[in-house]
Amino acid sequence: MRVASAFALLALLTGCGSGPPTSESTIMVFAAASLKATFTELGEQFEAANPGTEVEFSFAGSADLVTQLTQGATADVFASADTKNMDKAWQAGLLAGDPVDFASNTLTIATAPGNPKRITTFHDLTRPDTSVVVCAPQVPCGSATENVEQATGVDLTPVSEESSVTDVLNKVTSGQADAGLVYVTDAIGAGDKVTAVAFPESAGATNTYPIAQLKDSENAPAAAKFVELVTGEAGRKVLSAGGFAEP
């Protein structure tokens, strides 16, 4: 995964008469924000195993990615944080074949380091002195949050609803909120910037992650190889290390 500024520097060094060298091929992967760390690692593995092929990523909320695709954005692979948004891509005729489930993820409560508000249960998030941030309902983590609310009869009053799980996490790590509902993988990735509080009700709102090659891919062979990497043994190893469970 090259950096554009490096190309610019090379162009200056080699003179204006010749442009910087380019990869033989490139694939664009649209992936849920919660996949950023693991997919970045898998992208590096893919490039090492396939010299001349570069992997570019666009990470965002799954709902936003589907909207971009249906409005004409071009990509080779789509990985969603839930089946609902992948279904939307299928209904829009964007997929080259059936999607493959490759991972699952569960919600947890992320708090400031040390959990100063002493949050121990999902119901604790309703305390009037506790500011909570969640994902918007159309985002997979937001849909999962709604499922937990319905199952528990607990109605949250968040101070904001974010378009991606990483935005929720950033609100907590920056001190703008006391707690946020994020995926287990995001809490793991944040390290000591947050304290994770597990709650049993989250087991009933697990999200399954599917991946698919897109019909309008301009590099179908490489796109298929990337999907194979993610769904194969190497992909499972990286995803497991990142906190993802089997689908």
pLDDT at 18 over 90: no
3-state SS, residue 110: strand
| Terminal C-alpha separation, the chain | 28
Query: Do 98 and 113 belong to one domain?
Result: no
Establish if 200 belongs to a structural domain: yes
pLDDT of residue 211: 98
pLDDT of residue 214: 98
Q: Rounding to the nearest 10 degrees, give the CA dihedral for residues 191, 194, 195, 198.
A: -90
Query: Do 173 and 219 belong to one domain?
Result: no
DSSP per position, 14-71: H-TTSPPP--SEEEEEEEEGGGHHHHHHHHHHHHHHSTTEEEEEEEE-HHHHHHHHHT
Find where tokens 């993820």 sit: 105
Query: Do 179 and 164 belong to one domain?
Result: yes
Query: Do 119 and 30 belong to one domain?
Result: no
pLDDT at 146 over 50: yes
Query: Do 52 and 71 belong to one domain?
Result: yes
30-42 pLDDT per residue, tens: 999 999 999 999 9
Cα radius of gyration rounded to whole Å, the chain: 20
Query: Do 197 and 212 belong to one domain?
Result: no
Query: Do 154 and 131 belong to one domain?
Result: yes
Query: Do 20 and 94 belong to one domain?
Result: yes
User: What percentage of the chain exceeds 70 in pLDDT?
Assistant: 91
Q: How confident is the model at residue 9 (pLDDT cuts 50, 70, 90)?
A: very low
Establish if 201 belongs to a structural domain: yes
**Residues listed for the chain:** 247
pLDDT at 94 over 70: yes
180-194 pLDDT per residue, tens: 999 999 999 999 999
Closest CA to 196 of 114, 127, 105: 114
Establish if 188 belongs to a structural domain: yes
Establish if 214 belongs to a structural domain: yes
Name the domain count of the chain. 2
Q: Quick one: which H or E segment has residue 105? A: strand 100-105
Domain span holding position 125? 107-205
Query: Do 76 and 158 belong to one domain?
Result: no
pLDDT at 107 over 70: yes
The whole-angstrom separation of Cα 171 and Cα 165 is: 10
pLDDT of residue 1: 55
pLDDT at 16 over 80: no
Q: How confident is the model at residue 2 (pLDDT cuts 50, 70, 90)?
A: very low
pLDDT at 13 over 80: no
Query: Do 15 and 132 belong to one domain?
Result: no
